[in-house]
Structure 1
Amino acid sequence: MTTCVFCSIVAGESASHLVLDDDTVVAFLDRRPLFPGHVLVVPRTHVETLTDLPEDEVGPFFARVRRVAGAVERGMEAAGSFVALNNRVSQSVPHLHVHVVPRNRKDGLRGFFWPRGHYADEEQARDVAARLRAELADRS
């Protein structure tokens, strides 16, 4: 057995309820779902975070996430879906995974799962945006 629980599922060494299994991803039901139909989509290759996923794999990976989101909405007769991932913080398994959760109005989930805030003022918002633009420019 491998030490990563998701790699173990990808390898077929651990039981799971598979939803999609192809050359790019394995998607399976979350063992502790927010709602029935909550799916995790993981890349076949072990990477810990989105920023670790090779650039040429991002498009194919998210094409599968998109496909799974549509299947979850249709299959669970949901009004929509919540699609999310964590990088390091709150990432219970250190293997990139995207949550696809069926959503309906008044289902009990309230937007994001943390309190939302505001920027102190326009200057702070401008400064934060400038810092992020600088990081993007440095990486292009």
Structure 2
Amino acid sequence: MTFTLEKLRDSIAGVLKKNYPDVPVYGNPNQQGTKTPCFFVFFMPSDMEREIGRRTRRVIGVDIVYLTRRNDSNTYDQLITVADLLDEVMERVPYTDGVESTELWTSEREWKIDDGELHYQFTVKAIVSSPSNVPPIESMESYAGNIKN
């Protein structure tokens, strides 16, 4: 399985579209002509931690921003309702690279309302491994490395 940020963003967008099919989801903050309500999926500062062997743990911060029409009488209630649903559905994110599928657990989930926008933030910790440049052994009979006759 190949892990990329683009496919992670698409997987998160898939969860949002499943629960809010009529609300557009954007990955680029410079979308022109966006109409509310809408979601934006942003990546926050991330980190990489060494694991055993060729493995690395990618710690990826995610910020889902939900925008709605400002100054409506029920704007705050809408934001709370969306935060409540995101708490329910964002515990695990179904991830696919187009060939294989898995579920990624989220951690450190929290939300806040800032300047009339809902920010639902969490962390995804994915263990990835780099490809090995050591050729696989075809069979023991054909292996002649470091063996002296």
Same fold (TM over 0.5): no
Higher alpha-carbon Rg: 2
Give the helix-richer structure, 1 or 2: 1
TM-score, normalisation: structure 2? 0.35
